[in-house]
Structure 1
């Protein structure tokens, strides 16, 4: 399935972003549409190209969590796992 991202990407970045979408579906049991919308909301209008891009300084798992949970959730800390907060998602707008 071809994903329409709302930011400028090259082939390598496209594959990386597709992996983020697919992993979000697997980890959080969300729809393909929601995962794609969350990724688009994160980087809409930006240029995500080349390995020097800051996006590539982290792996897919980092981005899955950073995009899905609020900034104050501290999802990377084991003791915070019972206090995670999900970013609100508005399916009518396709955004969180």
Structure 2
């Protein structure tokens, strides 16, 4: 399970979550098919973002978009509590 990094903001404004799909696409597309060195920082970012979304965002779709971006880059790690909201996302 991945824990968010210490440097993340405590709370994201609600309109931030409206932009997540574009943010994920912009970060994932350029590194699809690249080596681990290029993918690793994006995967770390998405893990942190997903952990934050699971705590702060009320949209299952947002969490799914982030998780899908991680999977496209080959990351299969589990994020978040197995019994919390969006546990089966």
TM-score, normalised to structure 2, is 0.29
Structure with more strand by fraction: 1
